[in-house]
Amino acid sequence: MRLSEGVEWGAHVCGLLSVLPDGATLSGAHLADYHGVPPAYMAKHLQALSRAGVVSAGRGPTGGYRLARPASEITLWDVTQAIEGSAPAFRCQDIRTRGPVGATPKECKRMCGIAKAFLAAENAWRASLQAVTVADVMGDAAKDFSAAKIKRFATWLEDAAH
Amino acid sequence: MRLSEGVEWGAHVCGLLSVLPDGATLSGAHLADYHGVPPAYMAKHLQALSRAGVVSAGRGPTGGYRLARPASEITLWDVTQAIEGSAPAFRCQDIRTRGPVGATPKECKRMCGIAKAFLAAENAWRASLQAVTVADVMGDAAKDFSAAKIKRFATWLEDAAH
DNA sequence: GTACCCCTACTCGGATAGCGAGTGTCCGAGTCGGAATGG
DNA sequence: CCATTCCGACTCGGACACTCGCTATCCGAGTAGGGGTAC
């Protein structure tokens, strides 16, 4: 089982967008450059975030991306769902109904216990992600920001932001 | 994100093996037949379960698979780990160290907050699976077994088990 | 009749192809700002 | 000097190749039991 790396990118992007001045935007190319990843591929993930309503996109020379709502209202689950989709990782094939001793439909009124357990585990995972917002992450990360890094960041932002 | 279907197969196999008479075994071919899945592919997953010490394998005409320890001591996490491996689904690429404003090693003493949150979610998922044993699942499933199904199963087992 | 040996049939185990989702890329659609132009 | 128009550059959005891991398969290694043979 493997989570798409785009989820990590999306989370970092939301963190970066959350510290922008009000009304400012960043283009996909700049977001990719900032994180050192391929611009075209980053664009694909930004598109997914835009479709999901996590970020809002503007076109034209002054266009770019910004958060669609306050960072305190965007959870890591929102980002994950936007990029990975909402299909569960465990997809029950109901193999208990197959084979020579397969259960008949009447014997399958309740959900398979195995599927139930795996879906419960997935719910726990989701709940854990829903409990963390982009604002939480950035607040935590801010503790590690050195003065030098903040200065570097401000300089970069000067050139990049609209 | 998608969980390998082999995990479901492995869980069902462990459930089936857990109701075998003491000392009896089932061959990979019979386990595949029972679940209506390709024998060769089932064999691959059984091999993984065997390597992980979840089931023990015997060779030769009287050989086959049996549980390596009581069903109450085998969790769904054990099965998952055996087949999927123990690598985390979220693999931090430390993209905060990349790009023009990349953090220096000194600024990365603590783990990235995003990675921390995702790994915490994964821990919740794992804990949920570790709380459910094969015995739990079978005890729950037994409630749905009709007399007809039990009879069919006994007949099948007569031919299959060693 | 009995003990030994070989052989067969059955088992698991690792090495080998095929396919689909994720990865990576490109070009077209849309939009805003600014420069050029005419009044 | 000002309003209008046109152009260009920059943006996002969807459609197109490529790669790696899961899916699926086959053949070889190993073992237990049974039949045959020699004593």
Q: What is the DSSP letter of B27?
A: -
The reply to whether B141 has its C-beta less than 7 Å from any atom of strand C is: no
Q: Which residues contact B11 (CB under 8 A, 6 or more apart)?
A: A114, B76, B79, B134, B137
C26 C1' closest Cα residue: A40
**Chain B residue with minimal CA distance to A31?**
B99
Look at residue A162 in the predicted model and tell me its pLDDT.
78
Contact A93 B8 (CB under 8 A): yes
Can you tell me the mean pLDDT for A35-56? 96
Report pLDDT digits (tens) over B57-85.
Answer: 998 888 899 999 999 999 999 999 999 99
Which residues make Cβ contacts (< 8 Å) with residue B55, sequence separation at least 6? B13, B14, B17, B46, B49, B65, B66, B67, B68
State whether residue B133 is helix, strand or coil.
strand
Range in A9-13, A53-57, A68-72, B104-108 the model is least confident about: B104-108
Provide, in whole angstroms, the distance separating residue A50's CA from nucleotide D18's C1': 26
Residue B39 pLDDT = 96
Distance CA B56, CA A84 (A): 37
Q: What is the pLDDT of residue A18?
A: 95
Task: Find the mean pLDDT for residues B41-66.
Answer: 94
Q: Which two tokens stand for residue B113?
A: 């907050």
Instruction: Write out pLDDT tens, residues A121-139.
Output: 999 999 999 999 999 999 9
Backbone angles phi, psi at B110, to 5 degrees: -90, 155
Give the pLDDT confidence of B100-112 residue by residue, as tens digits. Answer: 988 888 878 889 9
